[in-house]
Amino acid sequence: MSIEYKFPEGFWWGSAVSATQIEGAAAEGGKGLNIWDYWYAIEPNRFFEGVGPETTSDFYHSYQDDIKRMKDIGHNSFRLSISWSRLLPGGRGEINQEAVKFYNDVINELIAHDIEPFVNLFHFDMPLEMQEIGGWENRQVVDLFVDYANVCFDLFGDRVHKWFTFNEPIVPVEGGYLYDFHYPNVVDAKRAIQVGYNTMIASAKAIEKFRSHHFGESQIGIILNLTPSYPRSQNPADLKASEIADLFFNRSFLDPSVLGSYPHKLIQLLEEHGQLPETEEGDTELMAANTVDLLGVNYYQPRRVKAKDHLPNPYSPFMPDWFFDNYEMPGRKMNKYRGWEIYEKGIYDIMINLKENYGNIGSFISENGMGVQDEERFMKEGRIEDDYRINFITGHLKWLHQAIEEGCNAKGYHLWSFMDNWSWMNAYKNRYGFFSVDLETKERKPKKSAYFMKNVAEQNGF
């Protein structure tokens, strides 16, 4: 079979997961509570079909077989996250030796299978005790996060050579402090902005700490969900709306992470509305000196915007949405289960933007994927025929390939996700995996896309 789309040698093929979404064993192995355990205990009704985080996909017990499965489908790299509340129950203090053993075993098993572990430190899972003292609003939590990061570097830094401080740090800001889809369910832009700012300080401090170890070739980065903003039209009002959406949802984390400072226009806008966060002396220098080596890009959907149809209610809480409306472009292609538009070219636009405006920083697609409901409908002779997912992946890979041809510095592609997993409030509604997971028995079965991926990885293209 001829290969039309060949990727650069050593391209990273794999998938990504997060601790809370796959490990299960939420009350086992000495793990402390995190905000998901707590929120589910007090409001189980907010989770799809009342399914909580206690067992999820049970990776804690089946990681050995799962890693074999990864090998079977050609993974050469795999991103996991460490659960802060498993390693340091309560977020600080004594190290939980059962957790050390678990993460050591997982890392060693991956390496034994020639799969490079990419390790992320924070994926939406604040230890409950840390939330109780203010979470990211409290600078003390920032320092405790750096202590936790340092424990991870000490324990696993000899074998892990790709680290990430955060996955999608904007999501806890949006979910927890603006739009009510994460605990602590606050709606307050000022607090949201403080949380976002302190998260960036935490990332810079963790990077500084990492570099003090002198790990040689090892790299540290961050994973951002970049949602390119497309204006409805070239009308100046639409263009302005799109520029502001981009400032809030992309550049708020991309600029400080990669360039070491916030966009001037964002600072100006927040200042005009009395929304600037509290800062400390030395913050500017800290951020400037500790930018990332590597950028993970999570891409699922574009953001289409237009100028507002109506002035915002002056008595409503201040929101980014005061400056733009979402635009439902007629004829857009939708993943109707997740309610997200599918726009493959977005991946190319992101990469070109990184090349032109962010020094062509080394990057990779750290998540891309398609969550689909009731996938058993597509079962034929015991296998889920997920051709829609294969089309989704190839559509995005073609544009990624084009970006690389044009000189973009993209080094890999990880699907979300390896196997079906627990999607926060959506629990197991939409399934994302190369492998299906039976929620009763925890049995895994490869979908058609798993075989497709194996071929792509083996041929380094398709």
Which residues are at the interface with ligand BG6 (CB under 6 A)? Answer: 18, 21, 167-168, 171, 225, 298, 338, 367, 371, 416, 423-424, 426, 430
User: Has 174 been annotated as catalytic?
Assistant: no
What's the closest the beta carbon of residue 171 comes to ligand BG6, in angstroms? 6
Kindly name the residue from 116, 341, 367, 375 that is annotated as catalytic.
367
Cβ(391)–Cβ(344) under 8 Å? no
Count other C-beta atoms under 10 Å from residue 56's C-beta: 29
User: Has 440 been annotated as catalytic?
Assistant: no
Report the residue closest to ligand BG6, judged by CB: 423
Give the position of tokens 């070109």.
Answer: 352
Helix axes 448-459, 387-405, angle to 10 degrees: 20
Kindly name the residue from 116, 168, 174, 344 that is annotated as catalytic.
168
Phi, psi of 26 (to 5 degrees): -65, -25
What's the closest the beta carbon of residue 424 comes to ligand BG6, in angstroms? 6
76 or 298: CB nearest ligand BG6: 298
426 or 459: CB nearest ligand BG6: 426
- Residue type at 112 in one-letter notation: A
Q: How many residues does the chain have?
A: 462
What's the closest the beta carbon of residue 16 comes to ligand BG6, in angstroms? 7
Count other C-beta atoms under 10 Å from residue 235's C-beta: 12
164 or 416: CB nearest ligand BG6: 416
Q: What is the distance between the alpha carbons of residues 363 and 223, in angstroms, rounded to a whole number?
A: 9
37 or 168: CB nearest ligand BG6: 168
96 or 301: CB nearest ligand BG6: 301
18 or 252: CB nearest ligand BG6: 18
What's the closest the beta carbon of residue 81 comes to ligand BG6, in angstroms? 9
Q: What is the distance between the alpha carbons of residues 215 and 324, in angstroms, rounded to a whole number?
A: 45
Q: What is the distance between the alpha carbons of residues 12 and 10, in angstroms, rounded to a whole number?
A: 6
What's the closest the beta carbon of residue 170 comes to ligand BG6, in angstroms? 10
**213: helix, strand or coil:** coil
What's the closest the beta carbon of residue 423 comes to ligand BG6, in angstroms? 3
What's the closest the beta carbon of residue 413 comes to ligand BG6, in angstroms? 15
Task: Look at strands 340-341 and 229-231 and give their pairing.
Answer: unpaired
Give the position of tokens 């206690």.
Answer: 54
445 forms bridges with which residues in the sheet? 436
Q: What is the distance between the alpha carbons of residues 203 and 1, in angstroms, rounded to a whole number?
A: 45
135 or 172: CB nearest ligand BG6: 172
Q: What is the distance between the alpha carbons of residues 72 and 93, in angstroms, rounded to a whole number?
A: 39
Non-local (6+) Cβ contacts of 140 within 8 A are 133, 134
DSSP per residue, 144-208: HHHHHHHHHHHHHTTT--EEEEEE-THHHHHHHHTSSSSTT----HHHHHHHHHHHHHHHHHHHH
For the annotated catalytic residues, the residue numbers are: 168, 367
